[in-house]
Structure formats: structure tokens, C-alpha cells
A and B are shown apart, each in its own frame.
Chain A
Amino acid sequence: MSLAVAGLSARRGSRTVLTDVSFTAHPSEILGVIGPNGAGKTTLFECAAGVLPFDRGKIDNDLLFYVPDAIRPWPDQTVRWTLTLTARMFDTQFDPSLLDDLDLVALQHATVGSLSKGETKRLNIAIGLASPRSVLLLDEPFDGLDLRQTRQVMDVLRRDAAKGRTLVLSIHQLSDAARVCDRFLLLDHGKSVAEGTLAELTSRAGAVGLEEVFLALT
């Protein structure tokens, strides 16, 4: 199932944080949301997930699941408890292969509060993958991971997308984004600046590579 967001606008107090943002993400696709700090990437995800109010706009898919960045949910519970809980809350069975895929087998009985930053990040990705929702929004899925782990998580995400899920990732590391995403949504100051494949963006910006596109359009 695809995700279509149309004309999303949001304000925080008197400050406008999103202005008329529209984009579409298709099944089996990995859409990367990129942009400078403060561009509105996290706000866009939170509005789309319904955990932050927005003023105008339409989101046509309520079967999405969003995993925020840097959360440490239920710190007194174990990794396995947290993943099992997530699956149970969606009336599905927890798939233990997730632990293997994200290198969490040795940590499954550790409490969430005792995990390092990278371990917590892998748990959060596993939480997202444990949900059966057809669209998954992950905020900064590679932040805190080393190179090997980043590659490993990218593989896991690609395999998951290949099964038909729509993945929307907020990524500030452009090299990571270029490596894993099929298409990109470039945000700047709460506005959608560009949307398309890397080839489309480079062609439009007259630049070579995603970093050049980023610098040219923001």
C-alpha cells in the first residue's frame, strides 16, 4: 500500500514548520527524506503518524507506523519483551528472526535501559519491523550505528521493502541516503524543494551526486 501526503502544513506557536508539503511513497520503495537540520523532517513524520497536530493537509494512509529517533521505550523491560509487545499489540506473532537480522540475539534478555546508543537504534528498527503496518516511517535509522551495522541494517530494510512494505526514512547522512533509498524528498525550511530519483534530482539541479543536489537546492 502506498502513502500519499498532500498539502501538509503545521505551525508551532507562531512559527510555521511545514508549508504545503506533498509527496507519495509506493509499495516496495524506500523513500529518503533529506534536508538540513530544522528542515521539518521529524515534524513531517510525526504529523503523518498522528502524534503531532497539523493545521491543514491530507494523509491517505492510516496504516503506517512511525518509529521516532532516539527513543528508549520501556527501559525496565527486556529487548525481547518490547518486541513481543509490539507484535502482540498489532495482533501478530513476533518473528524471532528479527533478533538475528539486527544482531540482537545476545541482547534479547537485556533491559532496554541498559543498551548503548547503537543497540537502542537497532532495537527501534526492530520495533518498526515487528509492526505489520504496510508503511513504515523511520527517523534517522542509521544514526549511532557503525559502518558494518549500517550496511547490515540497510540490507534488512531492503529485504523488508522487497516484501512489499513502503519505507520512508529520514536521513541526514547523505552518503547513507544515496546508498539505500530509491527516491528522495528534499525538504528545506518546512517546504518540499524536490522529489524524485537521484538521476531526476541531479538532472534538475545540474549537479553530480546527492551532496551536490543538496547544496544546490537548499
Chain B
Amino acid sequence: MSTETENTGEALDSSQSQLRRLIGADAIKSMPFWLLPAFLVGLFIYGAVLWNFVISLTDLQGFGTPSFSQLDFDMYGRAFSDPQFLFAGQNTIVLLVVFTIVCLVLGLGLAILLDQDIRRRGHLRTIYLLPFSLAFIVTGQVWLWMYNYNYGVVNTFTRSLGLGQYQIIGNSQIILGAIITALAWQFVGYTMVVYLAGLRTIPDDQFEAARVAGVKDYRIYWKVIIPQLKASAASAGVILMVFALKTFDFLFAMFGQYRPQKGADILATMMVREAFQKLEWAYGASIAVILFLMALGIISPYIYYQYKVNEI
């Protein structure tokens, strides 16, 4: 009640100067709005990330409690001399790059198609976006069946086309490609939606003017429209890359266990396996720190740029 009368008294002042005078008090008065969320995020996200770093410096494993007497970077040395880590790291980067490029290119194509004058555009958008609303644990099962050696759809087609049968899941040469295909199926719709939002901000008359001037459609897209979608591509790209770093559910669902088939291991799955299956907490935590740094390398330029242009 006292705050109410206080505000009423000062409300007659110009709002700017009032805000300046109250700036300290407002931080306290506004606490009911933000303190609990900030506490939860601070504890469970930032606190956990920091604590994870500390654990990565110990030798914690099994069911014990960590000893903090000797903190060192041994686990990172172990990671970089572990062939499985190097292999998984390489796979992570291949997945990240190929998956992101495939989604950005196909998503752009879909967005341009749907941006044309077609009926039932909304329904089509819903269909393309449908895979994105499904759990990875679900789509992993579906694609496992698609890739089945004897009865799966992919092998039924390759057989009937005379291309032979492929052990897709068991073949370390093609398994990563199969995973990228399945993940792209799920994320292309998302990328398309981000582009469509970008396309909507481009005024129609730019297109019309170029068309009147006799410029071919594909050149209009190439020269006028696509360059204006850079911001959409950047924001979708960051999300896609960070997703590629952390994807775990899909691989777990596909293989039904912590260890993906040969050739499909990535850092995200290796981290969970080391920590939660082998109970190598400190080693898992160190891989998690490396993943975190990779994500930071992707997002910090983006956030910095957004902050500078006042988009945040």
C-alpha cells in the first residue's frame, strides 16, 4: 500500500526524471517479478555449468564424492589423447557443418516455394513443420524402421531399383549420412519458417519493380531477395549448429542404448555415455565443457552482433 501512495505522489513529475530518481529503489521493488526466475536460471543453468567445470577438474568417478584437494586439467589431456574422443569430435563437426548447410539450403528453397501465390499455403506450412513438433525419441524409432535392412522403406526402394540392399545402420561409411538425412527431415520445416518470417518483412513492391523492369524471377531472388535474408539465415544457422552439438535423444532412440553404432558417435552421445553409463563423471564433465566452449564460439559473435544492432 505504501508503494501505491508513493507512486501517486510522484506520478505528476515527468516520467523520465521520476525513473532516474527511483532507479535504485525500482530494482528492489521489481524483485518479485524477476528474482525467482533469475535464481532458478542462475542456479540450474549458470551454477550447474560452473559446477560442471569444477567437477571436470577432479577425478570423480563411480559412486564417490569428489575430492577437491587436487584440481588439474588431466581429464582434458585424457580427452585429446583418446581416439574415441577425436573420432567423435570429428563426427560432431561433420554433422554440424553438413546438417546446417543442408537445412539452410533446403529451407530456403521451401520458403521461396511457399512464398509464391499458392492456395492452402498455411496447410502446406503445417505439413512441412509437422516433423519438427515430434520428439526425437519418436522420430528416431520411425527412421530406424525406414532404414531397416530387410523390410525398411529405403532398402525396398533401392532393391526395386536394382541398386541392392544396404546395411545402413551397421555401415560406418553411410550411417552419419543417414542420421543427417533424418535430422534434416525434421529441421528443414523449422528453417523454412524462419525464412518465411524474413520474407514477409521484404516489401512486395521491390519484387514487382524488378519484374516490371524485365528481370527474370530467379535473378530477382538471387540479387534482391536472398541477400536480404542474411539475418534469418544467421539466426536459423546458430540454432541449427547448437542443436547439432547437443543432439543426443535422436541417436539414443535410434540405437536404443548409450553407445551409437560404429561410426555414429558424436561428442554429445559420448559425454552422456561416459558420465551416466560408465560413471566417469569427471571425464564426462570435461567433454561437456568442451561442448560448451564450442557452443560459446558459435553463439557469442551472434549475441554480440545482435546486442550491437539493438536487436536484443
- Report whether chain A binds chain B: no
Q: Which B residues form the contact surface with A (CB < 8 A)?
A: none
